[in-house]
Amino acid sequence: MTSTQKDYMTVSAVLRRCHQCGKPQDQAIKMMRCSRCASVVYCSRECQKGAWPVHKPSCRPVDEANPERILKNVEVSLYGFRTVDEFSQALRDFIEAHTWAFQSYAKAHIFMEGGTDYIHTPPKLMEVQLRCLCTPGGSRDPARTFSFLGHQWRTVAEYTSKPVGARNWARSAAMREAAHQYNSGDPRFAGMLPVLFAVEDISSWQTSLYPQYRPYYASPQEGLSEVTFKSLMVDVLALCSSSIEHGLALRCADGQESIAALPGRFVRSNKLWKWEPLFTDWDRYLAGPRGIEGVDALLRVIRTLHVTVPQLLQIIRVIS
C-alpha cells in the first residue's frame, strides 16, 4: 500500500482538521475559521495564507442581508439550526464521521461499473442523497444527524448545464486541480471523484473529492469469479449503507492495529467530538458474546458465503 493510500483510509479520531495541513483539532491548537466564509478552519496563520490561492475561488463572504442566505436560514431552522453555517458544519461533520463508508461505497460502485475509467468516460460526479434527522433541541451526534437515501451518477456536462451547477463547478476548479496535483505522483492514481452531498428539502450542499486508484491487479476481480466479485461488492455496499443508517462510524484510526475498519461512536469531551472504537479486535467480538445492536445488524447484511465482516472490510481496503 502506498503512503497516499494509507493517508486516505486512515484518519484521526478527531472530526475537524486544518483545511491546509490536515492537523487534527485538539485542546492544544485553537483552530481559526476563515473570517470571510466561516466554512473552513486552519491551525495557524501560515496554513491560512498557504491555502488562500486554492480556497479563494470557493470562498464566498457571509452576507446576512443576502436574500438567498435568509431563505437558507429559514429552511434549516425547521431542523433546529440557528444559521445555515451551523447546518453546513453539521453536514461536514457527518460526511467526515462516515468518510470511510462513503469512500468505500463510491469505490465499490466504480468497480461494479467496470473500474476507474467509468468516472472519466464521460466525466461524472456522484450525488449522494441525504435526509436531515435533526430536530430543534435534539442530539447532534455527528454520526446520526442525517439518513442516507442513496446516490445517482451525473455527468459533469449535465450538472454544469444548469447555472447553479456551472457556478459551483467553476468555484471548485482550483480545489480539484490542487487535489489532482497532490495525488498525481502515484502512478496508480486515476483521478478525483467529486461527490456532491445533497439534502432533501434543503438547498445547501457539500462537495468532497475522493481520490481513485487503479487496482494493483490487471482486473480488480483477479483470482475471483465475476459472480463472486460482484456479490462481494454488493455486500460492501450493504455494509456501508447499514453502518451509516445505524450511526455506526467505521474508521481506521491513526495507530490502530487492525487493518479492517472498526465500528465506533463519537463522544463529546471538552467541546470536541472524538471517535472511540466499540472494540479493538473483530475476531474477539465475533467469538462472542456480541450484543452491540448496530454491529450485529452489520453482521447480518453480509450475504456472500464464507466471508466475514472483517474480511470484507479488508477486501475493500486492499482491492485498489
Query: Do the Cβ atoms of 301 and 238 come closer than 8 Å?
Result: yes
The nearer residue to Zn ion, 52 or 217, going by C-beta atoms, is 52
Nearer to Zn ion, 62 or 297 (CB): 62
Minimum distance from residue 47 beta carbon to Zn ion (Å): 3
In the complex, least distance from residue 45 CB atom to Zn ion, rounded to whole angstroms: 10
Helix or strand or coil: residue 184? coil
The x, y and z cell numbers of residue 113, run together, are: 461499473
User: Under 8 Å CB-to-CB from 123, ≥6 apart: which residues?
Assistant: 155, 156, 157
- DSSP letter at 21? T
Q: Residues 6 or more apart from 216 whose CB is under 8 A from it?
A: 188, 320
Is 170 or 267 the residue whose CB approaches Zn ion more closely?
170
CB of 15 to Zn ion, least distance (A): 15
Element (H, E) at 202: strand 202-213
In angstroms, give the least distance from the CB of 171 to Zn ion.
11
Per-position x/- string for 41-70, each x denoting binding to Zn ion as judged by CB under 5 A, each - no binding? --x---x-----------x-----------
Residue that the C-alpha cell 457571509 belongs to: 62
240 binding Zn ion? (CB under 5 A): no
Q: How far is CA 13 from CA 86, 116, 262, in A?
A: 22, 29, 12
Rounded CA gap, 166 and 153, in Å? 17
The rounded radius of gyration (Å) of the Cα atoms in the chain is: 20
Comparing CB distances to Zn ion, the nearer of 84 and 101 is 84
* Residues 13-32 within binding reach of Zn ion (CB under 5 A): 18, 20-21, 23
Q: How far is the CB of 86 from Zn ion (least distance, A)?
A: 16
Tell me whether residue 18 or residue 195 sits nearer to Zn ion (CB atom).
Answer: 18
**Minimum separation from the CB atom of position 88 to Zn ion (A):** 12
Residue 34 as a binder of Zn ion (CB under 5 A): the answer is yes
| Interface residue list for Zn ion (CB under 5 A) | 18, 20-21, 23, 34, 36-37, 43, 47, 59
